Amino acid sequence: MRLHRLPGIHHDSSCIIVSGSEATCIVDPGTTWYQANLVERLKPYILDRSPLTSILLTHRHYDSCGAAPYLAEEYNAIIRIHSEGIPSLSGGDMFTTWANRYGSDMPIIDAEGMVEGEIISLGDVSLQVIHTPGHTSDSCSFFIPEKKAIICGDLIPAAGHPVRADMPTGVLTELQESLVKVMDLKPEMIICGRDEAIIGSELCYAVVSKHMHSVETRIENKGMLPTDWPKPAETCHWLTPSPAWDFD
């Protein structure tokens, strides 16, 4: 198997490529803004690989899935998202996808549903669908047992940036439960939605523990952020702790 992360441009989420012996998938292609550019950036990572057959979405937000229809047509691939997200995508919903905050139209996306525990086989590697709501009701992560790695989208945007739950369909208590799910998997690699991967079991444990404590604190404070944390921009799907979190 091969696993690569392409950093997102501007507002785009990271794009993850997973190749097995029989099929390749990409996770979260980003906005429509750079979709043609993404096709060019993907070429070295899918050349001489197994066919790209699916585009997996961690959740319905425009910055993660806007480019999915373009790539699906380019590669004759299917689009998949947790079943909770299908109505928003099929209707081009501007609100729950957050597309209105970017001043962009949300393309209508024809996606197939996924469910908790489903196994997506790529040949010599498989991805297990883990329903991890909290940021959105449809949020999913993808666990790769062969690597003890989890692709978590915006559940953990970056080691030092906890995710927002104050967007449409976001729920802090569900976010807490989702982080417990990740902790129970004992990952040795966490592929974040925005930043570098978190590598090593001890560091993964420390990061998830810190994020869980942040969520617990917000629950205790009835959703209010610590007073010294800056207010996030409307297009920002994560928070910036002050002082910065240090995992060295």
3-class secondary-structure state, position 182: helix
Structure tokens at 177: 């439960």
In-domain check, residue 117: yes
In this prediction, residues 29-53 reach a mean pLDDT of: 95
- Give the 3-state DSSP-derived string for 150-167, with helices as H, strands as E and coil as C: EEEECCCCECCECECCCC
In this prediction, residues 29-37 reach a mean pLDDT of: 95
- Percentage of the chain lying above the pLDDT 70 cut: 100
Look at residue 33 in the predicted model and tell me its pLDDT: 95
In-domain check, residue 238: no
Residue 57 pLDDT > 80, yes or no?
yes
Look at residue 248 in the predicted model and tell me its pLDDT: 76
3-class secondary-structure state, position 21: coil
Beta strands in the chain (DSSP E): 2-6, 15-19, 24-27, 52-56, 78-82, 112-114, 119-121, 126-131, 140-144, 149-153, 189-192, 198-199
In-domain check, residue 214: yes
In-domain check, residue 237: no
3-class secondary-structure state, position 7: coil
- CATH code (residue 215): 3.60.15.10
In-domain check, residue 247: no
Look at residue 49 in the predicted model and tell me its pLDDT: 94
Domain with 194, as residue range(s), is: 2-220
How many degrees, rounded to 5, is the angle at CA 40 between CA 36 and CA 41?
A: 110
Rounded to a whole number, what is the largest CA-CA distance in the chain? 52
Structural domain count of the chain: 1
Look at residue 240 in the predicted model and tell me its pLDDT: 96
In-domain check, residue 246: no
In-domain check, residue 95: yes
Residue 183 pLDDT > 90, yes or no?
yes
Residue 237 pLDDT > 90, yes or no?
yes
In-domain check, residue 47: yes
In this prediction, residues 9-23 reach a mean pLDDT of: 96
Cα Rg, the chain, nearest whole Å? 17
Structure tokens at 185: 């998997």
In this prediction, residues 231-247 reach a mean pLDDT of: 93
Look at residue 234 in the predicted model and tell me its pLDDT: 86
In this prediction, residues 170-190 reach a mean pLDDT of: 97
In this prediction, residues 54-78 reach a mean pLDDT of: 97
Look at residue 6 in the predicted model and tell me its pLDDT: 96
